[in-house]
Amino acid sequence: MVPLDWYIWLASALFCIGVFGFLSRRNIIIMLMSIELMLNAVNISLVAFSHYMNDIRGHIMVFFIITVAAAEAAIGLAIIIAMFRNNDTTNVDEMTELKG
Amino acid sequence: MTLSQFFFFYNAIVIISTALLMVTRKSPVHSVIFMLIMFFHVAGLYLFLNAEFVAALQVIVYAGAILVLFLFVIFLLNLKVDRLERQSIANWPTAAVLSVAMFTVIAMATSGMQVGPGKYSIESLNRSFGIEGSSHIKAVGVLLYTKYIFPFEAASLILLVAMIGAIVLAKKSR
């Protein structure tokens, strides 16, 4: 039998790797993938709680999180394409137009 | 070590190592491939937790749709190799220390956590909807189409907005 703690530790480790990737990388595509990593970590913890509580609402929440993640990826990648067309870069340090 | 613990450890080790490789590789294509391996092992973990529907969603939506979208965009952008240098911030150890500290706080706060039984178990749902003995996916579907029908419709609206927004944003302006 696997204790609930192990799943929570796995999910928090995955979330912190996502945070590390988002903070340290400057490629906007990798940063968007780090966000997906963090959403996946939350999904793992929700499904684990749902199993250990014998409550099915966790699966419903995961369903909506996956929907929002798909929408976020589509919008984010469209923004990346638009910015690459204007700036010819995916490095966020070179995207300084909003500074004014 | 029992078989279930061995299975958990295998999945956990593969998930953590591919996630670390994903955030540290220089080429985005390598990152996408590592992320694909990670998604399949997360789906295996979901199957292990009796969540077949979520495991199928993970493979179909994440591995099938989102990652293919990432790959298409990477191929579309035609990134030059010489521009791929200097991809990380100079003081990345600060980010590493911050995330390790965050992990420590979360792990210490949640260790030894006890959870009680929830209100919406599969058995009670099946009894109240009169579908005794049917599968897990049926219970999820019935709950989704009765109690959570409004969030379900809102999710469809979110997808519609995302579709229109992606087309408008990526369209060539004249």
Rg (CA), chain B: 21
- At residue B174, the pLDDT reads 63
Q: What is the mean pLDDT of chain A?
A: 89
| Cα of A38 to nearest chain B Cα, Å | 10
Of the candidates B80, B77, B165, B23, the one whose C-alpha atom is nearest the C-alpha of residue A80 is: B77
Chain B residues lying within 8 Å of A76, measured CB to CB: none
For residue A64, pLDDT over 80 is answered with: yes
Which residue did the predictor score with more confidence, B111 or A61?
A: A61
| B49, B89, B98, B126: best to mutate for the A interface, most A CBs within 10 A | B49
For the segment A28-53, what is each residue's pLDDT rounded down to a tens digit? 899 999 999 999 999 999 999 999 98
Helices and strands in chain B, H and E counts: 8, 0
First to last CA, chain A: 57
Question: In this structure, what CATH number is given to the domain that contains residue A75?
Answer: 1.10.287.3510
User: What digits encode the pLDDT tens for the residues B7-54?
Assistant: 999 999 999 999 999 998 888 889 999 999 999 999 999 998 988 999
Closest Cβ–Cβ partner in B4, B16, B120 for A2: B4
Among A27, A84, A1, residue whose Cα is nearest residue B25: A27
Which ipTM score applies to this complex?
0.91
**pLDDT (average), residues A15-25:** 93
Contact residues, B window 89-108, toward A, CB-based 8 Å cutoff: 89, 92, 94-96, 98-100, 102-103, 106-107
| Long-range contacts at A6-9 (CB < 8 A, ≥ 24 apart) | A6/B8, A6/B12, A7/A44, A7/A45, A7/A48, A7/B49, A8/A45, A8/A48, A8/B106, A8/B107, A8/B110, A8/B113, A9/B107, A9/B110
Radius of gyration over alpha carbons of chain A, in Å?
17
Q: How far is CA B126 from CA A23, A63, A97, B136, in A?
A: 45, 20, 56, 9
Write out the residue range of the structural domain in which residue A70 sits.
Answer: 4-89
Q: Is residue A97 part of a domain?
A: no
> Smallest CA–CA separation between B65 and chain A, in Å?
8
Domain assignment present for A74: yes
Q: Which residue of A has its CA nearest to B164?
A: A75
Contact with chain A for residue B68, Cβ under 8 A: no
Question: Of how many residues is chain A composed?
Answer: 100
Indicate the number of domains in chain A: 1
Cβ contact A48:A55 at 8 Å:
no
pLDDT score of A77: 92
A35's enclosing H/E stretch is helix A28-53
Helix, strand or coil for residue B111? coil
Residue whose pair of structure tokens reads 């990737």 in the numeric block: A21
Do the Cβ atoms of A26 and B96 come within 8 Å? no
A94 within domain boundaries: no
Q: Is 90 exceeded by the pLDDT of residue A54?
A: no
Per-residue confidence (pLDDT) for residue B86, from 0 to 100? 66
Q: Are residues B102 and A16 in contact, defined by beta-carbon separation less than 8 angstroms?
A: yes
Residue A100 lies in a domain: no
Whether residue A98 lies inside any domain: the answer is no
In tens, the pLDDT along B62-104 reads 989 999 999 999 888 877 665 666 677 778 889 899 999 999 9
Q: How would you write B69-107 as a 3-class SS string?
A: HHHHHHHHHCCCHHHHCCCECCCHHHHHHHHHHHHHHHH
Residue A17 in any domain: the answer is: yes
Alpha-carbon distance of A48 to A41, in angstroms, equals 11
Cβ separation A12–B8 shorter than 8 A: no
**Chain B CB contacts of A37 below 8 Å:** 19, 22-23, 35, 38
Of B46, B118, B169, the CB nearest to A47: B46
pLDDT of residue A82: 87
The pLDDT value recorded for residue A44 is 95
Residue B80: predicted pLDDT: 67
In chain A, which residues have their Cβ closer than 8 Å to the Cβ of B136? 56
What is the number of CB-based contacts under 8 A between chain A and chain B? 235
Among B31, B20, B28, B29, smallest CA distance to B96 is for B20
- Domain-located, residue A59: yes
